[in-house]
Structure formats: C-alpha cells, structure tokens
C-alpha cells in the first residue's frame, strides 16, 4: 500500500508511506529555500515520489492533514489577526456561522483540485485526516516498544487545528479513542505564540528563543509576572481540558498580554511564559495519567517542541515512559496523515514497520552530483579539495584540532533538528567556540545554546536517563552531569547547564557514530557540538549546491561534502 501524506499549512511538506514504513519525508522549505514555507508543498510531493521511486498513478491514497486549512495568503499575513483583543473577539462572534461553512467547503474543493491537477490522481483517492488525529497518529504509530495489546495514553497540544488545541486519547492496536478535547479558544500554544509576537519575534518560529531566554529570569519576578496568565487559562475540574479563565479567548489575547507585560523586563516575560507553560502541561499530564491509569505516554503537536517542559513531564514519578514525536509541530502532520490512513486500511495492529529508527528521510546525492557542484560552484575559488580514504577519521582529526567542520553527507534529515548529516560540528569543550561559530555563520542570539551529539555508549557520562527514554532526536532536555559538563560546556545552556542531546547510535547513523568514536579516541570526549548547517534566517541546506553556496558566503573553512573534503586556503 502506498500513501502520500500532505500538509499544506505552515511548515508544509509531504511524506510517502509504503506498507506502513515512512520511506521519504521532506519539508518544502528545504527545496524553496524559504524558511517555514507555507502552502501546497508541490516540490516536496515531487521529491518524496522521486526518492521512493513511485509514480503518482501507483498511489493508493492521498491523505491531506487537517479537515480545513487556511489559504497561503492568510497564513503569511498574521498581523491583522494576531494583534487583537476583546473587542475584535466580540465582533468575530457576530459573524454568521454559515460563512464559516462556505469557506470550509470552498477550501476543501480547492485542496482536492490542487493535488489532482498536480499529480493526476483521481479525486476519489483523496481523503482528509483531522488535524489532532494526524498529530497523534504521527506520535503513536512511530513510537518504539509499543505492544499491540497494551493501552497507551496519547496527548496532543498545539496552537490550534480544526477548531481544537489539545486532545486526550487512549490508543490500543489500531483504535484511537478520544476522551477529552479542548477547543481553540483555550489554547496554551496560542499564549506562547502571542507572547513571541509581542516581544518582536516571529510566531511559529522563534518560540524556542523565549524558552532559551527563560532561565535568565529571576524566578520570583517570573512567578509574579505569570499571574495574569494564570487568570487567562486554567484546567477543567477533572484536569483533562484547558479552560478560559474568563470571557477572553486566547485567539484574542494579544492586547491582554500587552497590557499585562507593559514595562516588564524582557527576560521576566520569557520566564513567566515558560513557567506557566510548564505548570499547565505538567498538571495536565498528571491529571490525564491519574484519570486513565495509563502511565505510558506519547505526545504530538507544537507545544511538545518545548524540551524544557518535556524534561519536567519525563520526571513525573507516575509516568513510566514518554515518547515525543520528533519535530512534532505541524511539519509532522504529513507523516501522521499518511500513517493513519495506512493503518486504518491495513487492519493490522503490529506497527513495527512505522517505528522511526532514524530521521534520514530526505534525498541523498551521488559522487557525480558532488563533482558537478564542485565544478560549478568552486571554479577559481581559493580552496583545496581532497577525497580522504576515511572521511569519518578526517572530520574527527579536524575537530580534535579545534577546527569547525560543516557536513553535507548521506540522506537529509527530516524536521527542525540537524542530526549529523546536515550539521556544523565542533569540539564542545571550549565555550569560546560559541562566539566563533556565531561570528562565522549562525549569528544566534547571545542567550541561545547549541546542542550536543553524544555517542550512545558515552551517554551515561554526560546525563542521567533514568527511564531509558533514548533521546535520539533532540526532543527532551536533561541536566548535564557535573563530571561531564566540561566536555560539552559549549553545547549546554550557559545559565542552567541543561542540554538537548542527540544520542547517536551506530544503527541509526554509522558514519556520524564513527566520527564521534574517532574523536573520542583522540580526545577522550564522546561528544561534539552540533548545530544546523544553514545561514542565519535560511533553512538547513539540502544538497551539494546549497552546501557550497553557504560555505562561500560564510566564515566556515571546512566542508565535508559526501566523499570530498573542501577547505578554504
């Protein structure tokens, strides 16, 4: 069975599922070079079909994520519907309900026509999967070590989609029974995105900057500043839903936040929003576990991109296991839509084929592609080019010598995190390298940390994974061990010494594992600093031409491009 999954909102992209296995998934931004691309993912659809070697007539189903999706124009012009307040809410409530149905039906027809015109599939093969069901399906079906006959607690939490912002479900076999849902007017995610907008940053993209800034806030000031948020949103008496604290919808809370945070320090605002988010999520998860008696939890949706909140959830004594969908914001919707359709059609209850053993789901390139990009992009440039017999050892040698190396090798990672194949690497033992990398290319805000990639065998030296959660995809934060902090100080948060680790196994990425292994043999350190390979404001690079362009436009000196090692003279 071949299912094409499509997400056509922000962070749009496409996924190809074959017999339950995710064989290709690509975010549109990598191909258009426009960060967090919005709209119908034409190029991603073509790319996943190409990677999988599938022609469109072979597709059994095409699954759109979300029953309704706004137009591209609406999603790219948010100022008009973000900077609003209670008066706007009351005006919105006066609009006739029939208007919403007309828009819904119109957009449904447009979306079917778009994919049918693009790849010539019959309209009867096109289906739609509700937004939060797609979020949960992405998490549930890809989670490791789930027994078909054992119930799992499935949670979703995001800004909003298809009228909802959070759901609670019991998952078993192919059954997903939703037992609670929160409508979009009581959204924890919308509070975070509106606060991001209030602070002059980009919603749906810079929320992580508030999370990174929060540890710098004075805890007492942050706690006091969070009081208006506690009045805005509360938990229901049974703890399974979020509720408005009064009349105001979180869709229209910008003016409320503006008034509440006027003349409040910027770090205090970030601390308050993060503290409130942690309080609400932890209390909600505890209540859901208590209500259902199920202690194995899977999570999806953009709010669960908050690794610091996930750290607190993972520490709950009543929780046995936690799996957070990697890059679980809306970019994961195409995966969830395709998997849901597959497993509902197949009827099988063993989901082993869908478990994500790695996230290298994008395109690769050949030695000939490398050579052509080098000939086209580096002619006359002052560089040296070699083809090391052992590229992994060559990279490790440079890192051990204090050099910084960009890597573009193998299949591209899917999602928001670079995981070694499209990464910039450095030794993590000297905090001064943070400034060096920022001056070279990244230009990150001064308070933002980088992340460590840790060889699986060395991981116990650097953090304590008490519940064996196996953080392979940078979905959880941990406190760095005191004894290991010196080895990764440049890849830890400088304020609270937490880390967002990628644990690298030999099975998931033999080459990247070998790089860290060689590095450890030379230095005694089983960890490297890892940050995404991109220019500031751009998506992560995709292929050789992108990598060479970024090398030339940045202060980077070394590029491991497949089989070729390129160094500026």
Q: Is 341 part of any domain?
A: no
**101: CATH:** 3.30.420
pLDDT for 148 equals 87
> Does the pLDDT at position 32 exceed 90?
yes
**Same domain for 270 and 227:** yes
pLDDT for 347 equals 84
Can you give the residue range of the structural domain that contains 213? Answer: 143-327
Question: Does residue 329 contact residue 29 with C-beta atoms inside 8 Å?
Answer: no
Q: Is 157 part of any domain?
A: yes
**Same domain for 178 and 123:** no
**Same domain for 147 and 125:** no
The model's pLDDT over 183-205, given as tens digits with 9 standing for 90+, comes to 999 999 999 999 999 999 999 99
DSSP class of 481: P
Single residue among 109, 134, 159 that ends a domain in this structure: 134
> Does the pLDDT at position 33 exceed 90?
yes
> Does the pLDDT at position 100 exceed 90?
no
pTM of the model: 0.97
Q: Is 493 part of any domain?
A: yes
**Same domain for 149 and 130:** no
Q: Is 499 part of any domain?
A: yes
**Same domain for 544 and 564:** yes
Q: Which whole number is the average pLDDT over 148-157?
A: 95
pLDDT for 95 equals 84
Q: Is 362 part of any domain?
A: no
> Does the pLDDT at position 96 exceed 90?
no
pLDDT for 518 equals 98
Residues with Cβ within 8 Å of 114's Cβ and at least 6 positions away in sequence, in order, are: 8, 40
**Same domain for 84 and 168:** no
Q: Is 563 part of any domain?
A: yes
The model's pLDDT over 211-248, given as tens digits with 9 standing for 90+, comes to 999 999 999 999 999 999 999 999 999 999 999 999 99
Residue 370 — pLDDT band, cuts 50, 70, 90? very high
**Same domain for 446 and 550:** yes
Single residue among 102, 134, 166 that ends a domain in this structure: 134
**Same domain for 285 and 408:** no
Query: What do you get for the CA distance between the two ends of the chain, in Å?
Result: 52
**Same domain for 312 and 399:** no
pLDDT for 499 equals 98
Q: Is 334 part of any domain?
A: no
Among residues of the chain, what percentage have pLDDT more than 90?
96
Tokens of 251: 């869709």
**Same domain for 155 and 46:** no
CA distance 448 to 208: 9
Single residue among 296, 327, 358 that ends a domain in this structure: 327
User: Considering the chain, what is the average pLDDT of its residues?
Assistant: 97
CA distance 193 to 202: 8
Q: Is 344 part of any domain?
A: no
The model's pLDDT over 384-440, given as tens digits with 9 standing for 90+, comes to 999 999 999 999 999 999 999 999 999 999 999 999 999 999 999 999 999 999 999
**Same domain for 526 and 403:** yes
Residue 98 — pLDDT band, cuts 50, 70, 90? confident
Residue 99 — pLDDT band, cuts 50, 70, 90? confident
CA distance 563 to 194: 45
The model's pLDDT over 511-530, given as tens digits with 9 standing for 90+, comes to 999 999 999 999 999 999 99
pLDDT for 173 equals 94
Number of domains the chain is built from = 3
The model's pLDDT over 239-276, given as tens digits with 9 standing for 90+, comes to 999 999 999 999 999 999 999 999 999 999 999 999 99
pLDDT for 248 equals 98
Residue 145 — pLDDT band, cuts 50, 70, 90? confident
Of 355, 361, 328, which Cα lies nearest the Cα of 509? Answer: 361
In three-state form (DSSP H/G/I as H, E/B as E, the rest C), the secondary structure along 76-93 is: HCCHHHHCCCHHHHHHHH
CA distance 328 to 539: 17
**314: CATH:** 3.30.420.40
Question: Does residue 151 contact residue 172 with C-beta atoms inside 8 Å?
Answer: yes
The model's pLDDT over 79-95, given as tens digits with 9 standing for 90+, comes to 889 999 999 999 999 88
**Same domain for 556 and 470:** yes
């Amino acid at each position: 069975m071949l299912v094409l999954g499509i997400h056509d909102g922000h962070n749009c992209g496409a996924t190809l599922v074959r017999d339950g296995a995710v064989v290709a998934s690509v975010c549109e931004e990598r191909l258009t070079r426009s960060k967090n691309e919005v709209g119908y993912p034409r190029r991603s659809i073509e790319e996943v079909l190409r990677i999988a070697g599938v022609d469109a007539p072979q597709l059994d189903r095409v699954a759109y994520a979300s029953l309704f999706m706004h137009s591209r124009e609406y999603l790219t012009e948010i100022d008009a519907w973000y900077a609003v307040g209670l008066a706007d809410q009351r005006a919105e409530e006066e609009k006739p309900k029939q208007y919403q149905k007309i828009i819904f039906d119109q957009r449904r027809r447009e979306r079917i026509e778009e994919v049918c015109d693009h790849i010539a599939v019959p309209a009867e093969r096109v289906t739609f999967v509700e937004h939060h069901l797609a979020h949960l399906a992405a998490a549930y079906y890809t989670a490791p070590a789930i027994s078909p006959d054992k119930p799992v607690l499935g949670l979703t939490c995001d800004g909003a989609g298809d009228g909802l912002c959070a759901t609670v479900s019991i998952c078993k076999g192919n059954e997903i029974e939703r037992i609670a849902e929160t409508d979009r007017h009581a959204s924890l995610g919308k509070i975070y995105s509106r606060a991001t907008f209030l602070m002059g940053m980009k919603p749906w993209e810079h929320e992580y900057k508030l999370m990174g800034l929060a540890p710098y806030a004075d805890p007492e000031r942050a706690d006091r500043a969070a009081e208006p948020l506690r009045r805005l949103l509360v938990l229901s008496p049974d703890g399974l839903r979020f509720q408005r604290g009064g009349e105001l919808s979180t869709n229209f809370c910008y003016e409320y936040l503006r008034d509440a945070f006027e003349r409040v320090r910027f770090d205090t605002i970030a601390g308050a929003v993060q503290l409130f988010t942690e309080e609400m999520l932890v209390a909600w998860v505890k209540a859901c576990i208590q209500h259902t008696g199920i202690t194995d939890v899977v999570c999806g949706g953009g709010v669960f991109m908050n690794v610091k909140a996930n750290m607190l959830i993972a520490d709950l004594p009543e929780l046995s296991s936690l799996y957070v969908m990697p890059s679980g914001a809306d970019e994961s919707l195409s995966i969830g839509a395709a998997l849901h359709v597959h497993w509902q059609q197949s009827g099988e209850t063993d989901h082993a084929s869908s478990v994500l053993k790695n996230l290298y789901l994008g395109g690769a390139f050949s030695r000939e592609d490398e050579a052509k990009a080098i000939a086209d992009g580096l002619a006359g440039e002052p560089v040296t080019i070699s083809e090391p017999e052992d590229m992994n050892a060559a990279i490790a040698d440079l890192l051990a010598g204090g050099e910084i190396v960009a890597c573009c090798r193998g299949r591209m990672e899917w999602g928001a995190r670079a995981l070694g194949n499209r990464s910039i690497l450095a030794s993590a033992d000297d905090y001064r390298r943070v400034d060096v990398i920022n001056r070279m290319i990244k230009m990150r805000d001064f308070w933002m940390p980088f992340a460590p990639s840790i060889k699986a065998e060395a991981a116990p030296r650097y953090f304590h994974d008490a519940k064996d959660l196996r953080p392979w995809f940078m979905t959880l934060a941990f406190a760095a061990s005191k004894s290991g902090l010196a080895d990764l100080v440049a890849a830890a948060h400088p304020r609270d010494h937490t880390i967002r680790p990628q644990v690298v196994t030999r099975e998931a990425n033999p080459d990247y594992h070998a790089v860290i292994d060689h590095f450890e043999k030379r230095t005694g350190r089983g960890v490297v600093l890892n940050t995404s390979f991109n220019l500031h404001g751009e998506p992560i690079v995709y292929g050789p031409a992108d990598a060479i362009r970024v090398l030339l436009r940045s202060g980077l000196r070394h590029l491991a491009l497949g089989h070729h090692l390129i160094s500026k003279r």
